[in-house]
Amino acid sequence: MNKTDILDHEKLVNQDNEHLWHAMSRHVEGGKPMIAESGEGAWFTDLNGNRYMDGVSGLWCLNLGHGRKEIVDAAAEQMMKLSYFPLTLSHTPAIELSAKISELLGDSYKTFFSNSGSEANETAFKIARQYHNQNGNPSKYKFISRYRAYHGSTLGALSATAQANRRVKYDPGVPGFLHVPPPYSYRSPFGDEVKDVDKVAADMIDQMITWEGAETVAGVIMEPFISGGGVIIPSPKYLQRVAEICKKHDVLLIMDEVVSGFGRTGKMFGFMHSDGVQPDIVTMAKGLTSGYLPLGATAVKSHIFEKFKDKGADNHLRHVSTYGGHPASCAVGLKNIEIIERENIVERVADLGDKILGRLKDLNDHPHVGEIRHSGFLYGIEVVTDKQSKEPASDELMTKIIGKCKEKGLIIGRNGDTVPGFNNVIIVAPPLSSTEDDLNFLVETVKYAFNQI
């Protein structure tokens, strides 16, 4: 790095400290943030010339990696053809993408486009409440979600988010959001004597609906696998049981596929690991465009949309997103899905998620590893002080593991700002297009980091 480059770098660092507010980060006076300059595949390079593998796909979204010229060209071509057009009317990329989403979901859905996962979930809540109102059940307004789950940062989505550290100093939230224990067998919310934690956790939803009064509950929202809350993965029967409960009580099942959609878990959508489950509403973002442009989507079963056809001044969905369904974002979504299908990404993830990333399970014998949970390219390693007590690892120990990986050129994540005292799960979620060499490097580096503690 020459003198000019050094001065330019220092200027950027100073401007960063002076003007840029970093997400989810404590302020450090005079800090020197990692500033990315370029990316290729699963790797990025910072301004100092250091190269890192992105083991968490940015924020779980860079599914096809950096530098996909096809995707960039699709965006540029669309912007030259039609720079912007609102979906109060229509445009071709939105039409084609909505049809493709129905095809991928395996049923007829109507899709409302927004900009992010938080917005997609906010839209789902509004649709669910209005649907029940117009279906003759105006008192159905409550939503049930699970503790440790994350559903977004806007106020409604944050109210569904049952992570205490995320909500502190922002509560009280939106009324009508209720929470139940997660299907978390490693730390059973029901005591060690309960053997079938998944069944009891599902039955708690049934019980809450009954206790609250089914006539007041609009929907149950859940990720198929709790991701940022610690990669908590139930059995397929859990979701099947929840779907049955929702149907019994006329409660909409809202599936948050923001993280798990588009191949992350070895299926196109996470709910597809549970046979016979077809959600009423599916929300998505992140992998929908592989992070190349912002786009969220709320896919709603067509029979629900029928209620929005009713005549009356207030019976249509009075909701709008200026940039939701931007023509370029929809074009990127279409090209992203085309590549996923052409390169058999979903099948590849299912295969390599076991064959290569599966070697992370060798760490099960490590004295500080309590449990390893995984599906496809989504791995969570719960770190403990010791196996017997299951006492969660300290922040210092977690920081050391992450730091050792960074020293070797690998960025991994953790379930930060989740539950007080339980931010102890290392998260690995690399781009779905990662090469076998990339994945081997990731596995060996994580093992190295654990062997240093």
Tell whether 16 is covered by a domain.
Answer: no
pTM: 0.96
Radius of gyration of the chain (CA): 22
> Tokens in use for 429?
């979620």
How confident is the model over 128-175, as pLDDT tens digits?
Answer: 999 999 999 999 999 999 999 999 999 999 999 999 999 999 999 999
Tell whether 24 is covered by a domain.
Answer: no
The verdict on 94 and 243 lying in the same domain is yes
Q: What is the pLDDT of residue 27?
A: 82
Of 177, 377, 172, 196, nearest to 286 by C-alpha is 377
Q: Are 179 and 167 in contact (CB under 8 A)?
A: no
Q: CB-based contacts of 168: which residues, under 8 Å, 6+ apart?
A: none
Q: Tell me the one-letter amino acid at 323.
A: Y
**Distance from C-alpha of 8 to C-alpha of 179, rounded to nearest angstrom:** 49
Mean of pLDDT values over 274-295 = 98
Select the more confidently predicted residue: 222 or 2: 222
How confident is the model over 176-222, as pLDDT tens digits?
Answer: 999 999 999 999 999 989 999 999 999 999 999 999 999 999 999 99
Q: Are 262 and 340 in contact (CB under 8 A)?
A: yes
The verdict on 312 and 424 lying in the same domain is no
Q: What is the pLDDT of residue 25?
A: 86
Tell whether 309 is covered by a domain.
Answer: yes
Q: What are phi and psi of 151, to 5 degrees?
A: -130, 5
User: Which residue carries 């009280």 as its tokens?
Assistant: 172
Q: CB-based contacts of 111: which residues, under 8 Å, 6+ apart?
A: 97, 98, 101, 102, 297, 298, 299, 300
Whether the bond between 33 and the residue before it is cis, its omega within 30 degrees of 0, is no
Is residue 15 over pLDDT 70? Answer: yes
Q: Are 352 and 439 in contact (CB under 8 A)?
A: yes
**CATH code of 95's domain:** 3.40.640.10
Strand ranges in 246-293 using DSSP code E only, listed in sequence order: 252-256, 281-284
Mean of pLDDT values over 323-331 = 98
Among 321, 342, 363, residue at a domain's last position: 342
Instruction: Kindly tell me the burial class for residue 159, based on how many C-beta atoms sit within 10 Å of its own C-beta (0-12, 13-18, 19 or more).
Output: buried
Of 281, 283, 203, 282, nearest to 248 by C-alpha is 203
Report DSSP state, residue 32: -
Strand ranges in 96-216 using DSSP code E only, listed in sequence order: 109-114, 142-146, 177-180
* pLDDT band per the 50, 70, 90 thresholds, residue 417: confident
Alpha-carbon distance values, 202 to 148, 153, 352 (Å)? 15, 26, 31
The verdict on 357 and 321 lying in the same domain is no
Q: What is the pLDDT of residue 4?
A: 66
How confident is the model over 59-117, as pLDDT tens digits?
Answer: 999 999 999 999 999 999 999 999 999 999 999 999 999 999 999 999 999 999 999 99
The verdict on 216 and 330 lying in the same domain is yes
Tell whether 135 is covered by a domain.
Answer: yes
Whether the bond between 172 and the residue before it is cis, its omega within 30 degrees of 0, is yes
Partners of 379 in the β-ladder: 374, 428
Q: Report helix, strand or coil for 193.
A: coil
Instruction: Kindly tell me the burial class for residue 195, based on how many C-beta atoms sit within 10 Å of its own C-beta (0-12, 13-18, 19 or more).
Output: exposed
Name the domain count of the chain: 2
The verdict on 336 and 355 lying in the same domain is no
The verdict on 297 and 437 lying in the same domain is no
Q: CB-based contacts of 65: which residues, under 8 Å, 6+ apart?
A: 39, 40, 41, 42, 290, 431, 433, 434
Tell whether 13 is covered by a domain.
Answer: no
Ramachandran quadrant class, 67 (left: phi over 0; alpha: psi -120 to 50; beta: rest) = left
**Distance from C-alpha of 37 to C-alpha of 34, rounded to nearest angstrom:** 10
Measure the CA angle with vertex 296, ends 286 and 136; round to 5°.
135
Measure the CA angle with vertex 150, ends 327 and 67; round to 5°.
40
The verdict on 441 and 388 lying in the same domain is yes
Among 303, 327, 342, residue at a domain's last position: 342
Q: Tell me the one-letter amino acid at 100.
A: K
Q: Report the chain's mean pLDDT, rounded to a whole number.
A: 96
Tell whether 15 is covered by a domain.
Answer: no
Mean of pLDDT values over 1-27 = 82
In percent, the amount of the chain with pLDDT more than 70 equals 98
Domain hosting 78: range is 69-342
How confident is the model over 209-225, as pLDDT tens digits?
Answer: 999 999 999 999 999 99
Tell whether 439 is covered by a domain.
Answer: yes
The helix or strand, by DSSP H or E, that contains position 210, with its residue range, turns out to be: helix 197-212
Q: Are 159 and 179 in contact (CB under 8 A)?
A: no
The verdict on 319 and 443 lying in the same domain is no
* pLDDT band per the 50, 70, 90 thresholds, residue 265: very high
Task: Provide the H-helix boundaries in 255-361.
Answer: 302-305, 327-342, 345-355
Ramachandran quadrant class, 429 (left: phi over 0; alpha: psi -120 to 50; beta: rest) = beta
The verdict on 98 and 43 lying in the same domain is no
Among 342, 377, 407, residue at a domain's last position: 342
Q: Are 273 and 267 in contact (CB under 8 A)?
A: yes
**Distance from C-alpha of 258 to C-alpha of 275, rounded to nearest angstrom:** 20
**Distance from C-alpha of 198 to C-alpha of 237, rounded to nearest angstrom:** 8
The verdict on 122 and 43 lying in the same domain is no
> Tokens in use for 152?
């977004």
**CATH code of 436's domain:** 3.90.1150.10
Q: What are phi and psi of 316, to 5 degrees?
A: -85, 165
**Which of 8-12, 40-44, 322-326, 402-406 shows the lowest mean pLDDT across its residues?**
8-12
Is residue 7 over pLDDT 90? Answer: no
The verdict on 153 and 289 lying in the same domain is yes
**Distance from C-alpha of 345 to C-alpha of 84, rounded to nearest angstrom:** 31
> Tokens in use for 374?
């995984």
Report DSSP state, residue 286: G
The verdict on 140 and 234 lying in the same domain is yes
Is residue 3 over pLDDT 70? Answer: no
User: Which residue carries 């079938």 as its tokens?
Assistant: 196
Tell whether 160 is covered by a domain.
Answer: yes
